[in-house]
Each structure stands twice: as C-alpha cells, then as structure tokens.
Structure 1
Amino acid sequence: MISVIMSVYNAEKYLKEAVDSILNQTYQDFEFIIFNDCSTDKSTTILKQYEENHPKIKVIYNTENLGLTKNLNSAIAIANGDYIARMDADDVSKPNRFENQMAFLTKHTHIDILGTFSNDIDENGKIKRTRTVPVRHSDIIAMLPKFSPISHPTVIFKKASLAKIGFYNPKYRTSQDLEMWFRAASAGLIFHNIPDYLFEYRVDTTFLSRKNFQFRCNDCKLRLEGYKRIKLPWYKYIYAFIPLALGMVPNSIYMQLRRLDPR
C-alpha cells in the first residue's frame, strides 16, 4: 500500500484540484494523510468536506504552524504503507502516476527512490515548460551536486529504506528534499526517474517570491554539508553558490537563465 503525504497551508486556490488528482488515481491501494498547518483561508473547510466523504483521507489539524519538514515526518510516522508518495497542495498528479510508478517498483525491487518527469504549469493549468530529470541512478548522482535531480512531489520511496537515514532533517524548513537526497546517496540508496510526464508542477506568480535570500542561503548551506557526505572534490564546491548568485539577478534575467537548466 502507498501512504500519500501532503502538507497544506493556505492552499485554497488549488487544493481541490490537487486532492482530486490523488483520489482519481487508477491505482487505488493507498491512504491519503494530510496535515493542515493552521491554514487561515478556506483550506480547513475544504479538507473537512473531503474527510467526511472519502474514507481514504485522514486529516490532522495542527494547533501551531510547524512547517513542511515536520509535517512530512509526522505523516510518515503514522503511515501504514510500505511506500510513501509525496504530493503538494498546489500540484496535479496524472491519473496513471501511481499505477506506473508501482508497476516499475514491483519489477525493479532494488530501487529505493522513484521520481518522474513533469510539466511546469501556470495558475491556469497551462503547460509552461517540460521538466526532464536524469533517469538512471549514475546520472542522478552525477547531477546531484549541481541541481536537484529528482522533483520532490513526484517521488515514491520505500519507507523502510528511508528509515535508515531518518527521513527529513527537521533542521531545514526548505530544500529538505535535496538535503535528504544527499544523505540517501551517501547511504547507498538507489535512485531512478521514470521518463514519463506523470506530474504537473505549479509555477505561478508567487514561485520566485518563495525563493528569497534566506531560502538561497539555506540551500547553499545544505549543499556544502551534502558535498562532504558524498565526498565531492573540493574544487567542485563552487556549485553550492549557484543559488546565491541566481538570487542576486533580476527576475527577468533569472527566467532567461532557467532556460539553461538541463532538467
């Protein structure tokens, strides 16, 4: 069984579309664990309606805002599934996402962490660009120092495998996925991406504002720690400062530079 985990904070605009995309999966052997992180918009009302009408959904209502990292770890702690699937409250999973990922994991039992290709969509659901990532483990590890080689919300991973490294590091409120990938790589866990577009990743007008200077400093710090874990040669540590450099350029130039991103 899959345990789908999602954290929600003021996500009313896209929440129904996100939840429905999980409920409408062709693969139905899952539970859906949602942490409502003290939302002040209509998210709470929306979630209560879903919880009342869908037995697969379990909603936990936080009494204080804990942030994504702690919510994900708390959801994993109560998960009953052998597999954990990520989902964000503003994205969309294609109907065959779980079916395709579970078919692959059943056939390739050595894989611990499995992602997919995805499409970036705007606030209206229009595709803005395709997001490809390395497919094979060796190529994923090669990209890891430069860019995140797995799109976090597309992931399904083996709960038992990630338990060996303690899941998400609560020290990080952002970029917690990248930090976990470094630890997973250093522990010898096996990555793979399915080269199918099974996910739609929301990149709306608030996308750049969420990646502020503090976010980029945090990203740089965890990269430096990650490089030590994977024993990256010292002269390649310059990769860690790419996020800081990008944060110093105007948004218009940043969007042009994104076109150079190989993913």
Structure 2
Amino acid sequence: MAIKISIIMLTYNRARYLPMAIDSVFSQSFSDWELIVVDGGSTDDTENLIKNYQDKDSRIVYIRKDKVLGISKCRNVGLNLAKGEYIAVLDSDDIWCDKEKLAKQLDFLLKNSDCFLVGGGVIVIDEHGVEKSRYLHAITDEEIKKQILLRNQFAHSAVLYRRDKAQAVGGYALDVKIGEEYDLWLRMGRFGTFYNLKDYVVNYRIHNQGACVVDRLGGALDTLKIIKKYRHNYPNYFLAWIKAILRMGYYLWLKFTDRFRF
C-alpha cells in the first residue's frame, strides 16, 4: 500500500528531546506514514537512538548529513525523499499533542481539493515541557491571507501540506536562512487556499538560550526580503513593511547597546 503521509524531522544534537517527538508520531491514530529523520551531523547519541527505533519499526528512514548543508537544503532532502502524497513536519524538540492531528488534517485536505496547506493551534512549552502560552492563528483562507504578510500564520510543526504543490513551486527557498517555510507558504498560497484547524495540535518548545541578536537581526532582514517579494500577492504590505523595519531597528539597537555594555 502506498504511503499517504511523509513526516520530515530535522535534528541536530537533540537526543534529549527526540524520544518525545518520535513517540508523539507513534501516538497518532493515523498510521499510514513514514518518518524521515534528517540529521545534520549530531555528535550526541542521536544516531544510536534513531537506529533503535528503526529496529522496531520499518517506517522510520534515517539520513545523516555530516556536511553542513543548512536548514533549507536539509528540509529539501526530506521533501525529495518523501514517498507520501502529503507532507507533515515535526521538529525534533516539538511534540504533537493531538493524537488526531494527522487524521483531521488529512480529512480536511481530502474534502477540500483547493486547499494546499492546513495548520493548527500551538501550545508553547519551555525546555522542561511546562506550558508558557498558547495561540490560534487565523482560520479561513480569507483571514489568513489578510494577515500572512504581517505574521506567519502557520507553525511549521503544525502543518500538513500537499507534496506536489510544494515541489511545483520549488520547495524550500535556499536564499533564506531564517523563515524558509514562510517563503514556501507564500509561494503556495498564490495558487491554492489555506486553512487552520481550531484545535491545538503541537507543543512548540522554546529554549532559554534563544537566538543571539545577530541571528534575530538576520531573521528580521530575511522577513523584510520575503514580504517585499510577495507584496503584490497579499494585502497589508505597507503595514508589514513598517513592522519589519521596526523589528530590525530594535535588534540593531540591542546590538549597539550590547557592544558598549560594560
């Protein structure tokens, strides 16, 4: 029987969290899936951990890339290896908290052929799994597209999308260091519709160390480039541009004050 859903999981030195992520895949009520783990050259026990899972279940595919490829290239490795008609993403430190996530999202896509991508609600947790906040994005295609330049309306680990539609627009962008999935959504949205479930489907983990100011500044610059690229495809470009400029200014200020801190 053909595989219906391919789950792409990128990992790098996340052996501490991997079992929780993988176990949440096994907990899904929908079982016609493959899990493609793309390892960016972990130096911890990640490889042995994955191979132990492989010994128990043939649906797990492990790809190790010792050469640093970058996030987008690694995601495209998984996308190009995928056999499933639909793609789900689960980062290795996140957890699917709804056992019906895949089943509900697949059901929606099967009933709505014009929809290319469906997401869901997010529960933010800390390093210890303690809930910090939760949020729902816009629900309908119209609402999502009104807001998507202002803010990415899909958490990556919360989505299910059509593989052929993602590949038709070129997969994950290689010219974006941060926000590669955001760029992909905006390309897909030009040709199909979006939807977000009203259910919370993923525990998204944040880490205390966070991103450094330089990384955040780079991310803000990438966001500015992305929204400028799609300014003719979605509304509220001017507001989104102002928001991105203010964010860049804030991170520049942080960088400046950090430089002269005693």
TM range (shorter): 0.7 to 0.9
Post-superposition, which runs of at least 4 consecutive aligned residues in structure 1 deviate over 6 A? Answer: none
In structure 2, distance between residues paired with 1:139 and 1:219: 20
Residue 121 of structure 1 contacts residue 127 of structure 1 at CA under 8 Å; is this kept in 2? Answer: yes
In structure 2, distance between residues paired with 1:98 and 1:139: 23
Q: Which residue of 2 aligns with 1:20?
A: 23
Q: Cα distance, 1:242 vs. partner?
A: 4.0
Q: Cα distance, 1:204 vs. partner?
A: 2.3
Aligned pair in 2 of structure 1 residues 223, 235: CA closer, same or farther (>3 Å)?
A: closer
Q: Cα distance, 1:66 vs. partner?
A: 1.1
In structure 2, distance between residues paired with 1:136 and 1:242: 28
Q: 1:139 aligns with which of 119, 137, 143?
A: 143
Q: Cα distance, 1:88 vs. partner?
A: 0.3
Q: Which residue of 1 aligns with 2:59?
A: 56
In structure 2, distance between residues paired with 1:43 and 1:189: 37
The answer for unaligned runs of 5 or more in structure 1 is 251-263
Residue 123 of structure 2 contacts residue 131 of structure 2 at CA under 8 Å; is this kept in 1? Answer: yes
**TM-score, with structure 1 as normaliser:** 0.87
Residue 150 of structure 2 contacts residue 240 of structure 2 at CA under 8 Å; is this kept in 1? Answer: no
In structure 1, distance between residues paired with 2:52 and 2:247: 40
Q: Which residue of 1 aligns with 2:118?
A: 114
Q: 2:76 aligns with which of 69, 73, 76?
A: 73
Q: 2:32 aligns with which of 17, 20, 29?
A: 29
In structure 1, distance between residues paired with 2:35 and 2:158: 15
**Is residue 2:61 matched to residue 1:47?**
no
In structure 2, distance between residues paired with 1:111 and 1:243: 32
**TM-score, with structure 2 as normaliser:** 0.88
Residues paired across the two proteins, number = 249
Which residues in structure 2 correspond to 1:1-263 (within 5 Å)? 1-94=4-97, 95-185=99-189, 187-209=190-212, 211-230=215-234, 237-248=241-252
In structure 2, distance between residues paired with 1:91 and 1:127: 12
User: Per-residue CA shift, 1:95-125, capped at 9, x if unaligned?
Assistant: 2211221122222232110000110011111
Residue 93 of structure 2 contacts residue 205 of structure 2 at CA under 8 Å; is this kept in 1? Answer: yes
SS, match of residue 231 in structure 2: helix
Q: Which amino acid aligns with 1:138?
A: E
Q: Cα distance, 1:232 vs. partner?
A: 5.8
Percent identity, please: 24
Q: Cα distance, 1:11 vs. partner?
A: 1.0
In structure 1, distance between residues paired with 2:11 and 2:38: 6
Residue 227 of structure 2 contacts residue 240 of structure 2 at CA under 8 Å; is this kept in 1? Answer: no
User: Per-residue CA shift, 1:14-64, capped at 9, x if unaligned?
Assistant: 111011111221110101111111011222221222222221100011131
User: Per-residue CA shift, 1:202-249, capped at 9, x if unaligned?
Assistant: 012133448532232222222222325547655753233243144357
SS, match of residue 45 in structure 1: helix
Identify the range of structure 1 (208-217 vs 37-46) with the bigger mean alpha-carbon deviation.
Answer: 208-217
Aligned pair in 2 of structure 1 residues 235, 108: CA closer, same or farther (>3 Å)?
A: closer
Q: Which amino acid aligns with 2:165?
A: S
Residue 183 of structure 1 contacts residue 229 of structure 1 at CA under 8 Å; is this kept in 2? Answer: no
Q: Cα distance, 1:13 vs. partner?
A: 1.9
